């Protein structure tokens, strides 16, 4: 594919290893001379033979491992302070992050707190982390958020309406070990919601606005569409579209787990520099109002967003390229049908009502989404209240324009 944009930015961990068995690189990815680490691990891993084996192997090589696994849903900001205090008191030289996106984000934030001190609210937003943080070695157990390669960590702060992001190139882990073996135990709903979020990352990265920041300024964390990530986003979308329903239906299918691990990693590499847009802007207030998982919301919204964006001819063309990559053809209607069909196949509901949203919530959701100016600004068309209300109205009614006209 020839891209209309011919500039690009890549920001990545210096080391990325992916495939069955990649976790065995853990010892070799720690900084030279590491003697003490904090392992921020997902609660489900604490008694898993996979983790115990890794910890035993590190200790056999003289690395002392202190485990922290109090990863609370939604990652309340105050819960991270204790972990950071422990890490600082122990003088750890690196942080191992193993788990779903919540555990990986927790580890990134602990690394930030240990290095630069709190409160975390000092860093809410973009490019506010003043320098490098303690190295984080990330092992995702979902496929997935892509957090193992991205510059973002998301946290909930009781003083705010919604989850807040800290975005900085300094939060990109020092190494990512993407081993599908770690995802085999993920239950169907976790596989479905994390997997569809990865598809949203790929689609939103591929359809991101062409922003072209001046090269002589400090670059924004999210630089919009770029030619270096487009091909990865397309490949990620193709893999996830093909393999996510199989991974949900057949959790022990190793090929499906491997394809999903690679697809979500590619999507993370793609959206890390470009950013995501409207599904994410709208999910934050929806997630806050309903307590529903991130991927459930972004996945539900995606067909409605693509449906609204295809009215823009340049974006419709891009959606066609995406459809070709996914093997459903270049007609945007076919792409939207494929995205909503995938949701049906993996148990993502088709209407916001199923998440407990009432019609009278919609204006406030649109208003709060517009506060995420960074995300809204990455949409390929100017997105104001009217467009967001239209998307929300369709997603509430559960009706896509193409179905209305069929
Ligand atoms: N930093 C980023 O770039 C980024 C991107 C997207 C989302 N996020 C954040 O990531 C979070 C969502 O992450 P997630 O979808 O990975 O879910 P999660 O980390 O919240 O985990 C969901 C549940 O699945 C369990 N789990 C995880 N892996 C498992 C496995 N292999 N086997 C059994 N149980 C397992 C966890 O213990 C938890 O109970 C959200 O908080 C979202 O805001 C971050
Ligand atoms: Fe996401």
- CATH number, domain of 128, equals 3.40.50.1970
Dist. CA 122 → ligand 2 center (Å): 23
Pairing type for strands 15-18 and 36-41 reads unpaired
Question: Would residue 192 count as lying in a domain?
Answer: yes
Query: Quick one: which atom of ligand 1 is closest to the CA of 184?
Result: 31
Helix axes 332-346, 188-206, angle to 10 degrees: 160
DSSP state at residue 76: B
Q: Which residues line ligand 1 (CB under 6 A)?
A: 42-44, 99-103, 105, 141-142, 144-147, 150, 152-154, 163, 182-183, 185-186, 190, 193-194, 197, 294-295
Closest by CA to 166, choosing from 184, 154, 174, is: 154
Statement to judge: residues 248 and 335 lie in one domain: yes
User: In the β-sheet with 175-178, what is the strand arrangement from edge to edge?
Assistant: 15-18, 175-178, 136-140, 94-99, 36-41, 64-68
Omega within 30 of 0 (cis) for the link into 119: yes
Question: Would residue 6 count as lying in a domain?
Answer: no
60, exposed or middle or buried, with CB in 10 Å at 0-12, 13-18, 19+?
exposed
Pocket test for ligand 1, best of 11, 139, 142 (most atoms within 8 A of CB): 142
Burial 355-382 (b: 16+ CB within 10 A, else e): bebeeebbeebbebbbebebbbbbbbbe
Which residue's CA is the nearest one to ligand 1's atom 15?
194
CA 304 to chain CA centroid, Å, is: 19
- Residue 13: strand, helix, or coil: coil
Question: Would residue 393 count as lying in a domain?
Answer: yes
SS (H, E, C) 336-383: HHHHHHHHHHHCCCCCHHHHCCCHHHHHHHHHHHHHCHHHHCCCCCCC
Statement to judge: residues 120 and 199 lie in one domain: no
Dist. CA 217 → ligand 2 center (Å): 28
Query: Quick one: which atom of ligand 1 is closest to the CA of 146?
Result: 3
Dist. CA 88 → ligand 2 center (Å): 30
Statement to judge: residues 179 and 192 lie in one domain: no
With the C-alpha atoms ordered 346, 317, 298, 271, is the resulting torsion angle positive or negative?
A: positive
Statement to judge: residues 295 and 378 lie in one domain: yes
Which residue's CA is the nearest one to ligand 1's atom 23?
190
**Beta strand ranges found along 164-319 (DSSP E):** 164-167, 175-178
Question: Would residue 369 count as lying in a domain?
Answer: yes
Domain count of the chain?
2
Closest by CA to 141, choosing from 23, 298, 252, is: 23
Dist. CA 189 → ligand 1 center (Å): 11
Domain end marker among 116, 148, 183: 183
Closest by CA to 267, choosing from 168, 199, 346, 165, is: 199
User: Which tokens is 154 given?
Assistant: 């998301």
Domain end marker among 166, 183, 200: 183
Dist. CA 62 → ligand 1 center (Å): 30
Q: 294: domain CATH number?
A: 1.20.1090.10
Statement to judge: residues 257 and 135 lie in one domain: no
Question: Would residue 3 count as lying in a domain?
Answer: no
Which residue's CA is the nearest one to ligand 1's atom 34?
186
Which residue's CA is the nearest one to ligand 1's atom 7?
145
Statement to judge: residues 160 and 193 lie in one domain: no
Which residue's CA is the nearest one to ligand 1's atom 2?
147
Domain end marker among 121, 156, 183: 183
Which residue's CA is the nearest one to ligand 1's atom 21?
100
Question: Would residue 80 count as lying in a domain?
Answer: yes
Statement to judge: residues 160 and 216 lie in one domain: no
Closest by CA to 21, choosing from 47, 52, 46, 54, is: 54
39, exposed or middle or buried, with CB in 10 Å at 0-12, 13-18, 19+?
buried
pLDDT truncated to tens, each residue of the chain (406 aa)?
556 778 899 999 999 999 999 999 999 999 999 999 999 999 999 999 999 999 999 999 999 999 999 998 778 788 899 899 999 999 999 999 999 999 999 999 999 999 999 999 999 999 999 999 999 999 999 999 999 999 999 998 888 878 889 999 999 999 999 999 999 999 999 999 999 999 999 999 999 999 988 899 899 999 999 999 999 999 999 999 999 999 999 999 999 999 999 999 999 999 999 999 999 999 999 999 999 999 999 999 999 999 999 999 999 999 999 999 999 999 999 999 999 999 999 999 999 999 999 999 999 999 999 999 999 999 999 999 999 999 999 999 999 876 544 4
Range of the domain at 317: 188-405
Question: Would residue 31 count as lying in a domain?
Answer: yes
């Amino acid at each position: 594919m020839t891209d209309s944009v011919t500039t690009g930015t890549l920001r990545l961990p210096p080391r990325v290893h992916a495939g069955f068995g990649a976790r065995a690189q853990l010892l070799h990815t720690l900084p030279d001379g590491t003697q003490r680490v904090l392992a921020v691990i997902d609660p489900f891993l604490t008694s898993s033979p996979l983790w115990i084996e890794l910890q035993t192997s590190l200790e056999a090589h003289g690395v002392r491992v202190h485990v922290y696994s109090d990863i609370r849903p939604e990652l309340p900001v105050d819960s991270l302070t204790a972990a950071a205090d422990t890490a600082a008191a122990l003088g750890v030289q690196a942080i191992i992050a193993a788990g779903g996106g919540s555990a990986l984000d927790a580890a990134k934030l602990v690394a930030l707190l240990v290095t630069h001190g709190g409160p975390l609210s000092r860093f809410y937003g973009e490019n506010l982390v003043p320098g490098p943080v303690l190295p984080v070695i990330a092992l995702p157990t979902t496929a997935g958020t892509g957090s193992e390669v991205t510059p973002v960590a998301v946290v909930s702060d009781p003083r705010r309406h919604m989850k807040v992001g800290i975005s900085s190139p300094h939060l990109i882990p020092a190494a990512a070990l993407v081993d599908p073996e770690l995802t085999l135990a993920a239950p169907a709903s976790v596989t479905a919601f994390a997997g569809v979020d990865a598809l949203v990352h790929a689609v939103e990265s591929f359809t991101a606005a062409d922003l072209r920041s001046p090269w002589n300024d400090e670059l924004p964390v999210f630089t919009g569409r770029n030619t270096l990530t487009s091909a990865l986003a397309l490949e990620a979308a193709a893999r996830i579209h093909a393999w996510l329903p199989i991974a949900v239906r057949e959790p022990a299918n190793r090929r499906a787990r491997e394809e999903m691990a690679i697809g979500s990693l590619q999507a993370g590499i793609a959206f890390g520099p470009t950013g995501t847009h409207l599904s994410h802007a709208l999910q934050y207030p929806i997630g806050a109002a309903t307590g529903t998982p991130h991927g459930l919301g972004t996945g539900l919204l995606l067909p409605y967003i693509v449906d609204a964006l295809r009215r823009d001819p340049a974006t419709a063309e891009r959606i066609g390229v995406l459809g070709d990559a996914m093997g459903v053809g270049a007609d945007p209607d076919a792409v939207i049908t494929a995205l909503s069909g995938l949701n049906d196949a993996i148990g993502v509901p088709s209407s916001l009502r199923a998440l407990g949203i009432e019609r009278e919530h919609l204006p406030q959701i649109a208003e709060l989404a517009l506060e995420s100016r960074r995300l809204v600004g990455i949409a390929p068309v100017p997105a104001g209240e009217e467009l967001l209300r239209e998307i929300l109205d369709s997603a509430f009614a559960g009706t896509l324009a193409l179905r209305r006209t069929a």
